[in-house]
Structure 1
Amino acid sequence: MEPDAVLERVGSGRFQQRLLVLTGLTLFSDGVELMVMPLLQHALEFDETFGAGAAYQTAVTVAVFAGMLLGALAVGLLADRYGRRAATLAYTATIAGFGLASALAPTPAILILARAGVGFGVAGTPAALTLYAEWLPAADRGRRLVSFMYFFSLGALFVTLLAWAVRERWRALLLLAALVPAMTYGLCWFYLPESLRFLVQTGQTSRARQLSCRAARINAIPEADQQDLQTAQLVTARAENHAKRQATRDASNSSGASAVESLAHAPAVVSRSLTSWWHDFWADWPLFSLLATEFLLMATVYYFLVLLTTVVQPETRRAAKFSDATYFNVAMANLAELPGLYAASWLLDLVGRRATIFLFFAVTGWCLLILSYGLDAKADCQAAGCRWLAATLWMARAAALGFNQSLWIFTTEAFATKHRALGLGLASSAARVGGALSPFLIDAYFRRSVAGRGLAATCRLTS
């Protein structure tokens, strides 16, 4: 049977719910490690014993995105070659290992290298997302994939509360943050299954049958339906084995001359295939260029707002330590992403992908414009003014994450199947560059307000 047909019979139930928790924990770990960046950068600024100057503080953040760029280029190859489960485990272990190394780093240079390793591991999220998606029936896939995205915002909220508990002790913060992927790795090692589609495509039909029957039992599929599933899979397996034996006999009966002839024509066949592939991809080049630009702006704006969440607080500009009010405001800004994610999942089907992207990006641009006029890094805020700016920042965070999710879904559906992975990978790689630019934009934003207004205008124009 085809994987989609098997999934329809297996159904959607407790098995997929368990899988959502396991794969979602990997995204939760990513949210923890990424959202610790502004908190870590602020703590390093006032840790005189460690000796990390302003250049090192920025480099710590940039190193994460540099590692993510390298990890994003490798995750597809590893997941396709060794399996989604193996890639998920490898990247989760990388986050845990380098996260621990970050907490124990004796010098700023080693800290930068360790954070680059964390970034490499964070880029493995597509492996877990693919694994989860390939166990979902087609009719239920879109709605359930939205649930996966919530784990990132929950991780961001969790690390803020964690930082609130340990205060300015950044080594303790990094150590506790590293425990999250370490525990996730342990759970995934024992309970995370392999992708059914990957097993079928790699010829592991016996293992695929066992796993699908196990999923059917966990989902409480009736015994009669389970027997029908096993019978259908057995018939399919026999047909596949017969086809393989027939192909082997045909290959052994072929003459040497035909083999030599096929070998002689091989370069021409490969050349025609590459030419056809390049022609199809070049036809989508305008779309790819537009999406790459959107990904670049999306990541630049989103991580800019993440960093801005800490530096916009009045206590940040007056004292070395965050007050309880500062931690509360940062936590609320992270919590504000959840309504944005929910609104995006609702609007995507109501008004469509393009309209949702336009709406969220336009709202983000207007919020940035308001912040650029209303925020002065050199002056203290009045209480009412700070609350007003905090509310604007919360709205910007919600809109930015809504745009993020909408863009990912639209891009996945925009490219043809035969080069969808390449198009999505290349387009989203621009997001790593945008993330690396965000720390520099924070400085420019406060040095001259025209930088913030220019970023806001760009958001509105490109929307």
Structure 2
Amino acid sequence: MAAEGEVSMHYTTDDALSLVGFGRFQTLVLAYSGLGWIAEAFEIMLLSFVGPAVEADWGISGAEQGLISSAVFAGMLIGSIAGGLIADRYGRRTGFLFTAVVTAVFGLLSAFSPNYASLLTLRFVVGLGLGAGHVLSTWFIEFVPAAKRGTWMVVFHACWTVGTILEALLAWAIMPVLGWRWLLALSSAPCFVLLIFFPLTPESPRYLCSRGRTMDATVILERIARMNKGTLPPGVLIFRPEKHVDNNLGTSETALLIAEDNTGIEEDTSSKSSGIVAFQALWSYDLIRSTFLLWFIYLANYFTYYGVILLTSELSNGKRRCASVRTHLMQPNSGNLYRDVLVTSLAEFPGLLLAALLVDRIGRKRSMGGMLLLCGVFLAPLSLQLGEGLVTTLLFCARTCIMGSFAVLYVYTPELYPAPSRNTGVGITSSLGRIGSIVSPLVIVGLLESCRRKEAVFVVDLVLFLAGVACALLPRETKGCQIQ
């Protein structure tokens, strides 16, 4: 009986957040992190407009133009891992400070590039900063109560779509008048806004607890309670509930999320070894299967997302020759380019709405797997000759589904990994996913230029089917579960 009374005088971060609820504090955190997501969308989407303009101004080849985008994605491969390790070792605030400083400074400097080599180098460094952008999403999710975590993460992910639309509008206004250098400079503005408000941002209480700093975490939780006009549970904050862990895969959803070695938790783990510990946690018995499956699911989502964009460019202009795919994709002085980006970006909003409706009702795994398979269903008829209206409808629906899957994936991944290795896990999986964004243009464009549309559609559908199966094989469902 005494033991039961003692347990009742403790509470976890999830207990505290569930009691105070989602309020003014989380809204401000959402605004800040969402601005960071918009900033990342700016820097990615401007590649569609800057590359062709640089090719026209400097007379570079199509291959050299493509290297500008490849340099950014290569930087993101490295930045995703580096940002995750920094955030797990030195704190979430340090992680997104890294992404804001690097992206803002080098994004602005790239507007003054005197030649192609300097532009390529600077955009690579911008990619390093962009790759660490996932820290903002994990920082936000660590403040959200468990009950509505999925829905609010989908709302956060909508900031990406807002960013793509705003960048297209900005490019439409700036490019014809002032040129690509002004677009590069102005697109870095959101990151400078992040730096201005950085001193006001709080550290994640989950991270603080994982480092043994429960008193500091309590101070932040008290601040959340005051701003949300709520109260904290009675008792003392602890890192995790008293052990009720079952390490057998599939027997307890919650237990698997909080099963982790306690060594070094009560004391502040040395920064020298924490990065290694975070990396090793990905290969633990409880996580290794999920880690490998998530690597493929991320790769499939990135591959399909850019594959659908390429198929849209090809199939929306069926009268042109197959070999002019790249020419059609990038027309720097054509208003059609800006219009097409706007229209296709609008298809992402229904996907986000669908994800928001499903993620906290039927769960993460079913939502992801179902939308991936449904995306394949919508793409399959495109291997045939269809009317323009039907093609547009199918592509719109496919874009909707792949965006919805992406949104749920960004909910599921940070929920899966414990606080000490959360950003490392998200960083490595998203980094490997970037390989899909690099491979997709090579495969899809290569097939389309050879007039092999059926094969291109088949490849994308095969990847989607395998990703749907991988979702079903994930051992854990995180809907409604506590996270560290």
Q: Which moved more, 1:407-416 or 1:153-162?
A: 407-416
Size of the aligned set, in residue pairs, is 407
* Larger RCO (CA under 8 A, 6+ residues apart): 2
Counterpart of 1:84 in structure 2 is 92
Contact 1:364/1:459 (<8 A) preserved? no
**Cα distance per residue 1:30-78 (max 9 Å; x no partner):** 1111122222233334x1x323211211111111111111111111221
Distance 1:391 1:186, change over 3 A: farther
User: Aligned-pair distance for 1:324?
Assistant: 3.7
Q: Which moved more, 1:356-365 or 1:97-106?
A: 356-365
User: Aligned-pair distance for 1:364?
Assistant: 2.6
Percent identity of equivalent pairs: 31
CA distance in structure 2 between the aligned counterparts of 1:39 and 1:206, rounded to whole angstroms? 49
Contact 2:104/2:192 (<8 A) preserved? yes
DSSP 3-state at the match of 2:46 = helix
Contact 2:139/2:204 (<8 A) preserved? yes
RMSD of the TM alignment (CA)?
3.4
Counterpart of 2:118 in structure 1 is 110
DSSP 3-state at the match of 1:167 = helix
**Which amino acid letter does the alignment assign opposite residue 128 of structure 1?**
L
Counterpart of 2:24 in structure 1 is 14
Gaps of 5+ in 1: 237-269, 376-383
Distance 1:124 1:72, change over 3 A: same
Q: 1:296 aligns with which of 294, 299, 303?
A: 299
Q: 2:68 aligns with which of 27, 37, 60?
A: 60
Matches within 5 A, 1:205-284: 205=214, 207-221=216-230, 225=231, 232=235, 281=284
Q: 1:360 aligns with which of 360, 367, 371?
A: 371
Contact 1:91/1:124 (<8 A) preserved? yes
User: Aligned-pair distance for 1:128?
Assistant: 1.4
**Which amino acid letter does the alignment assign opposite residue 134 of structure 2?**
P
Counterpart of 1:164 in structure 2 is 172
CA distance in structure 1 between the aligned counterparts of 2:126 and 2:292, rounded to whole angstroms? 29
CA distance in structure 2 between the aligned counterparts of 1:338 and 1:311, rounded to whole angstroms? 23
CA distance in structure 1 between the aligned counterparts of 2:407 and 2:354, rounded to whole angstroms? 11
**Which amino acid letter does the alignment assign opposite residue 393 of structure 2?**
A
Normalised TM-score (structure 1):
0.77
1:195 partnered with 2:196: no
User: Aligned-pair distance for 1:162?
Assistant: 1.0
**Cα distance per residue 1:262-303 (max 9 Å; x no partner):** xxxxxxxx9xxx9xx799746765554433222212111212
**Which amino acid letter does the alignment assign opposite residue 455 of structure 1?**
V
CA distance in structure 2 between the aligned counterparts of 1:311 and 1:40, rounded to whole angstroms? 21
Counterpart of 1:455 in structure 2 is 459
Matches within 5 A, 1:302-341: 302-306=305-309, 314=317, 317=328, 320-341=331-352
Larger Rg: 1
DSSP 3-state at the match of 2:122 = helix
Matches within 5 A, 1:90-101: 90-101=98-109
CA distance in structure 1 between the aligned counterparts of 2:144 and 2:312, rounded to whole angstroms? 36
**Which amino acid letter does the alignment assign opposite residue 182 of structure 1?**
F
**Which amino acid letter does the alignment assign opposite residue 180 of structure 1?**
P
Q: 1:3 aligns with which of 13, 16, 25?
A: 13
CA distance in structure 1 between the aligned counterparts of 2:210 and 2:447, rounded to whole angstroms? 50
CA distance in structure 2 between the aligned counterparts of 1:344 and 1:6, rounded to whole angstroms? 26
CA distance in structure 2 between the aligned counterparts of 1:279 and 1:42, rounded to whole angstroms? 41
**Which amino acid letter does the alignment assign opposite residue 228 of structure 2?**
N
Distance 1:31 1:278, change over 3 A: closer
Q: 2:34 aligns with which of 4, 21, 24?
A: 24
Distance 1:58 1:347, change over 3 A: same
Contact 1:368/1:452 (<8 A) preserved? no
Contact 1:10/1:212 (<8 A) preserved? no
Counterpart of 1:128 in structure 2 is 136
Counterpart of 2:46 in structure 1 is 36
CA distance in structure 2 between the aligned counterparts of 1:298 and 1:177, rounded to whole angstroms? 26
Contact 1:22/1:184 (<8 A) preserved? yes
Gaps of 5+ in 2: 1-10, 239-272, 321-326, 469-484
**Cα distance per residue 1:309-368 (max 9 Å; x no partner):** 566665964995454444223201112101101102222344443333333223333444
Contact 2:330/2:337 (<8 A) preserved? no
DSSP 3-state at the match of 2:188 = helix
Q: Which moved more, 1:177-186 or 1:191-200?
A: 191-200
1:428 partnered with 2:430: yes
Counterpart of 1:407 in structure 2 is 409
CA distance in structure 1 between the aligned counterparts of 2:220 and 2:414, rounded to whole angstroms? 27
Distance 1:321 1:201, change over 3 A: closer
1:144 partnered with 2:133: no
Instruction: Flag the structure with higher helix content.
Output: 1
Contact 1:313/1:326 (<8 A) preserved? no
CA distance in structure 2 between the aligned counterparts of 1:9 and 1:424, rounded to whole angstroms? 27
Counterpart of 1:247 in structure 2 is none
